[in-house]
Amino acid sequence: MAELRFHWDFFGPDAQGTAEHFCKHLGEFCAREGVVPYRTSTAPAQGRCVATLACDEQHLVLVRDRLRPKRAERVQP
């Protein structure tokens, strides 16, 4: 099964802290909704930070509809 990566963008001087805090809530959501396996990460860039959730493709509808990511990508195994 393919892996999906969902991305949320945060901008401004507090972007990194906000993205890290958002990843904490992503982990709580995944634990509560049974999204396993999953992993979260942040990628700081100048003036913005991207929070990413990677999970199995079977969770597409749940994450897309409930968390409304800004963009997503499918990564083939």
Please give the Cα distance from 62 to 18 (Å, whole number).
23
Please give the distance of CA 46 from its chain centroid, rounded to a whole number.
Answer: 19
Give me the residues paired with residue 55 across strands: 4, 38
pLDDT of res. 77: 72
Please give the Cα distance from 1 to 68 (Å, whole number).
22
Q: What is the pLDDT of residues 5-48, one digit of tens each?
A: 999 999 999 999 999 999 999 999 999 999 999 999 999 988 99
Q: For residue 63, give the DSSP letter.
A: H
pLDDT of res. 76: 82
Q: Write down the pTM of the prediction.
A: 0.92
Amino acid at 39: R
Count CB-CB contacts under 10 A for residue 41: 13
The topology (CATH level 3) of 3-75 is Alpha-Beta Plaits (3.30.70)
